[in-house]
Chain A
Amino acid sequence: MARKTYNIAMVSDFFFPQPGGVESHIYQLSSKLIDRGHKVIVITHAHDDRKGVRYLNNGLKVYHVPFLVIYRQATFPTVFSFFPILRNICIRERIEIVHGHGSLSSLCHEGILHARTMGLRTVFTDHSLFGFADAASILTNKLLKFILSDVDHSICVSHTCKENTVLRASLDPLMVSVIPNAVVGENFRPRDYPAPSEQGGGFRAEPSPRLLGPHDMITIVVISRLFYNKGTDLLTAAIPRILENHPNTRFIIAGSGPKAIDLEQMIETNVLQDRVEMLGSIRHEDVRDVMTRGHIYLHPSLTEAFGTVIVEAASCGLYVVCTQVGGIPEVLPSHMTTFAKPEEDDIVAATGKAITAMRAGKIRTEKFHDEVKKMYSWSNVAMRTERVYDGICGTISEEEFYGFDTSGYNNGSRIRDFALIDRLKRYYGCGIWAGKLFCLCVVVDYLFFLFLEWWFPRENIDICPDWPRKPPAKDKAQDSMKLAMSRSTSSVRVPKLDR
């Protein structure tokens, strides 16, 4: 049976050329979806010299919509001004699914709202955790609730993130899937890893363990932006104590941020210049080279939705010491990590344990790369995302997609229909005042849509020719696997099966 393929538009403020996790997530996911025979375009805003329509590798088409950027690469939230251009793009590219990324991207929120008005299926991927208490969070949460009350399906990068999103936006938990991030294994090879060409035939020699003598230097690597939420204060407090307890250890710290000055002060007061190296901010391509200089990766973050960087560290063959917060405990199997509570004493103790274990040769870090490669791959992420698309488009039945519990919150179907009155009902439940405001927004949006249909008639919009599509992936066997996988939603770590 030929698989159904879709035309998908990824909408987000965050995309290349700026660096970041969401950006590379969108790119990798799109690229793998194209490999599976779908058509994917990316809609983002214009950067300095990136304007208009561009093509990236693999026939990925990017629309850089000219918009005003206000704060940290997020565009000004002009609720309706994006609609005409989005409608034009969706019609000319024959888009069926609009997939928004990032809860701080107003382009994504607007895209989802307008796509629903146009009668398209929508998916939202949340990449971040939020609090509930401060004013900014309350505002963002309200906005998120507005958008997600009508979205067809949401995707979160970890179970903690899912829990957070479900609470923030009062969602039906079954309408939120967990699909973790992945890493490009080839870019994060450990030092002395045999080149892939040698793996062709026959068995590869089992890598011999790296044994460390009692006086060998152990290097601890920290790569993170130096912000409060990344736990830089903990790091500042813990480093002198760790170095005091363990001779023959040293730190490499890469990254920049407002807390860098505290670290520098700590180095000055404790005279640790020869044992702590600060590299400043480094490019993403160089992360691997910095990581392979070390033995242990320390990640003292206070909040983290997924923590791609610890997967990258493990892939580079580093033993990981990290705080037990957010989605981090889900990410790596226990033999690759030592967990600590997010407090100074515990981090010092955990790092000490890790150093002792390394010296004792108990940890086979040379095997980490192959294991991580099996756990995290973008083609697997694409496969699971595809299943979400199948589910919302009705390619696989509702019972199959949502499992045993076929009734939604109000004993209604979970398939969101496009009738305006049903959409208004969903929005109205958002709050006493907010509900009415949201309804107003949706009604205005709908009227605007009717106006656009009249002012820019559909038949006057040219249809784009498709980039030559790849043959859709035929994987009946994997289908059943996927089903099993997503049934047992607790298993985040799914072995990579294809190839």
Chain B
Amino acid sequence: MLTTAPRLRIRRPSPTTAEFTVTTLPPRTLPLRLLWLLLLVLRISLSLVALLILYARWVQERSSFGGATAQLPSSSSSPPPPPLLSLDRLVFALDAFQSTPAGTLLARIAASVSLPVLLPVAAAVFYALSLRVHKEESLLVLRGLGVQTSESPATYLAGAATRFIPTEKIQDILVNEAFLGFEVRYYLVVVVEGEENVVVVFPGLLPRRKIVETVWRGVRECLYEGRGEDRVDKSGG
């Protein structure tokens, strides 16, 4: 529901530039935006819960060592809260949360799981929560300069992986077909001079033939405008 089959978005900021983006992001409608918001809230709250469990465990570990107890303010006369917007205030708030019913529940969960299990599980949860829902891969064509491929990373934490190929290095851009698993798929490749392997455009999504052909036509038009007669046969790979 949150993703669609790969679809193409073309942006032409100037006559000599075109960006072809293949994305699994569906068109934004109101229900979808609400769903996104809900998902965001869910992600944040789940990460928060995971963090709090880790913190509770840390407090327990610390208290199990004798030396650490001295740090804890055991006196019943609660000191005045530290000033707002300081690190101490955060620690104070966390400690205060520990005494609430929800806090004790999390503490009990944290205590019941052994550390070698807890840490990998927490890491996996964080990774899962940072995963992107949709994939996006794009090809930016700048006449006279070259093409740049970019693909969105798997998580929100990493940046996009891009690769720029200058025009004079591009030998050809063509559509080919090849075996992939139990299928034969069409894909767009850039043949780069001096490289043994070709560069596959949209390597992760491998959109359908219609999209690939549209992009191929668009790229050739944008890159070699006016010299479009020397079109090679697209399947001549």
Instruction: Let me know if B179 and A65 touch, CB within 8 A.
Output: yes
The 0/1 profile, CB within 8 Å of B marked 1, for residues 441-472 of chain A is: 00000000000000010000111110000000
* Complex-state Cα separation, A65 to B184, whole angstroms: 10
- Say if the beta carbon of B209 comes within 8 Å of chain A: yes
- Say if the beta carbon of B108 comes within 8 Å of chain A: no
Q: How far is the CB of B213 from chain A (nearest CB, A)?
A: 9
- Say if the beta carbon of B172 comes within 8 Å of chain A: no
Instruction: Let me know if A85 and B177 touch, CB within 8 A.
Output: no
* Complex-state Cα separation, A237 to B191, whole angstroms: 61
Q: How far is the CB of A457 from chain B (nearest CB, A)?
A: 11
Q: Which residues of B have CB within 8 Å of A456?
A: 182-183
Q: How far is the CB of A38 from chain B (nearest CB, A)?
A: 19
Point out the residue from A51, A88, A465 that lies within 8 Å of B183, measured CB to CB. Answer: A88
- Say if the beta carbon of B77 comes within 8 Å of chain A: no
The 0/1 profile, CB within 8 Å of B marked 1, for residues 211-242 of chain A is: 00000000000000000000000000000000
Point out the residue from B179, B235, B236 that lies within 8 Å of A66, measured CB to CB. Answer: B179
Q: Which residues of A have CB within 8 Å of B209?
A: 462-463
A14-59 residues at the B interface, CB under 8 angstroms: 51-53, 55
Instruction: Let me know if A52 and B182 touch, CB within 8 A.
Output: no
Point out the residue from A52, A55, A85, A462 that lies within 8 Å of B178, measured CB to CB. Answer: A52
- Say if the beta carbon of B163 comes within 8 Å of chain A: no
Point out the residue from B182, B184, B186, B235 that lies within 8 Å of A55, measured CB to CB. Answer: B235
* Complex-state Cα separation, A52 to B186, whole angstroms: 12
- Say if the beta carbon of B208 comes within 8 Å of chain A: yes
Instruction: Let me know if A88 and B178 touch, CB within 8 A.
Output: no
Instruction: Let me know if A88 and B177 touch, CB within 8 A.
Output: no
- Say if the beta carbon of A92 comes within 8 Å of chain B: yes
Q: How far is the CB of B209 from chain A (nearest CB, A)?
A: 4
* Complex-state Cα separation, A88 to B181, whole angstroms: 11
Instruction: Let me know if A462 and B186 touch, CB within 8 A.
Output: yes
B158-182 residues at the A interface, CB under 8 angstroms: 176-179, 182
Interface of B is mostly: strand
Q: How far is the CB of A12 from chain B (nearest CB, A)?
A: 18
Residue of chain B at shortest CB distance from A85: B182
* Complex-state Cα separation, A493 to B1, whole angstroms: 66
The answer to whether A53 and B184 touch (CB under 8 A), given A462-B208, A462-B209, is yes
Q: How far is the CB of B233 from chain A (nearest CB, A)?
A: 10
Instruction: Let me know if A53 and B182 touch, CB within 8 A.
Output: no
Q: Which residues of A have CB within 8 Å of B177?
A: 52-53, 464
The answer to whether A53 and B186 touch (CB under 8 A), given A462-B208, A462-B209, is no
B171-222 residues at the A interface, CB under 8 angstroms: 176-179, 182-186, 208-210
Interface residues on B, range: 10 to 19
Instruction: Let me know if A88 and B184 touch, CB within 8 A.
Output: yes
Instruction: Let me know if B184 and A63 touch, CB within 8 A.
Output: yes
The answer to whether A88 and B208 touch (CB under 8 A), given A53-B177, A55-B235, is no
Q: How far is the CB of B179 from chain A (nearest CB, A)?
A: 6
Total chain A interface residues with beta-carbon distance under 8 A: 18
* Complex-state Cα separation, A88 to B184, whole angstroms: 7
User: Which residue, B183, B186, B235, has most C-beta atoms of chain A within 10 A?
Assistant: B183
Q: How far is the CB of B177 from chain A (nearest CB, A)?
A: 5
Point out the residue from B178, B184, B210 that lies within 8 Å of A92, measured CB to CB. Answer: B184
Q: Which residues of A have CB within 8 Å of B176?
A: 53
Residue of chain B at shortest CB distance from A83: B182
* Complex-state Cα separation, A465 to B212, whole angstroms: 13
Q: Which residues of B have CB within 8 Å of A92?
A: 184
Q: Which residues of A have CB within 8 Å of B183?
A: 84-85, 88, 456, 461
Q: How far is the CB of A154 from chain B (nearest CB, A)?
A: 29
Q: How far is the CB of A484 from chain B (nearest CB, A)?
A: 41
- Say if the beta carbon of A95 comes within 8 Å of chain B: no
Residue of chain B at shortest CB distance from A452: B182
Residue of chain A at shortest CB distance from B185: A462
- Say if the beta carbon of A89 comes within 8 Å of chain B: yes
Q: How far is the CB of A87 from chain B (nearest CB, A)?
A: 8
The answer to whether A88 and B235 touch (CB under 8 A), given A53-B177, A462-B209, is no
Q: Which residues of A have CB within 8 Å of B235?
A: 55, 465
* Complex-state Cα separation, A305 to B182, whole angstroms: 36
Instruction: Let me know if B182 and A88 touch, CB within 8 A.
Output: yes
B115-160 residues at the A interface, CB under 8 angstroms: none
Residue of chain B at shortest CB distance from A52: B178
Q: Which residues of B have CB within 8 Å of A55?
A: 235-236
Q: How far is the CB of A115 from chain B (nearest CB, A)?
A: 16
User: Which residue, B176, B182, B236, has most C-beta atoms of chain A within 10 A?
Assistant: B182
Instruction: Let me know if A52 and B208 touch, CB within 8 A.
Output: no
Q: Which residues of A have CB within 8 Å of B179?
A: 51-53, 65-66, 85
* Complex-state Cα separation, A465 to B234, whole angstroms: 11
Residue of chain A at shortest CB distance from B209: A462
* Complex-state Cα separation, A81 to B32, whole angstroms: 41
A462-495 residues at the B interface, CB under 8 angstroms: 462-465
The 0/1 profile, CB within 8 Å of B marked 1, for residues 324-363 of chain A is: 0000000000000000000000000000000000000000
Point out the residue from B182, B208, B236 that lies within 8 Å of A84, measured CB to CB. Answer: B182
Q: Which residues of A have CB within 8 Å of B184?
A: 53, 63, 85, 88-89, 92
Q: How far is the CB of A33 from chain B (nearest CB, A)?
A: 20
The answer to whether A53 and B178 touch (CB under 8 A), given A63-B184, A88-B184, A92-B184, is yes
* Complex-state Cα separation, A462 to B183, whole angstroms: 10
User: Which residue, B177, B179, B208, has most C-beta atoms of chain A within 10 A?
Assistant: B179
* Complex-state Cα separation, A88 to B182, whole angstroms: 8
What are 14 A-B interface contacts by the 8 Å CB criterion? Answer: A51-B179, A52-B179, A53-B177, A55-B236, A63-B184, A85-B179, A85-B183, A85-B184, A88-B182, A88-B183, A88-B184, A461-B183, A462-B209, A464-B177
Can you list the 10 inter-chain pairs with the closest CB atoms, starting with the nearest? A84-B182, A462-B209, A52-B178, A53-B177, A88-B183, A85-B182, A462-B208, A88-B184, A462-B186, A52-B179
Residues of B within 8 A of A (CB): 176-179, 182-186, 208-210, 235-236
Residues of A within 8 A of B (CB): 51-53, 55, 63, 65-66, 84-85, 88-89, 92, 456, 461-465
Q: Can you add 19 more A-B contacts, CB < 8 Å, to A63-B184, A462-B210?
A: A52-B177, A52-B178, A52-B179, A53-B176, A53-B179, A66-B179, A84-B182, A84-B183, A85-B182, A85-B184, A88-B183, A456-B182, A456-B183, A462-B185, A462-B186, A462-B209, A463-B209, A464-B177, A465-B235
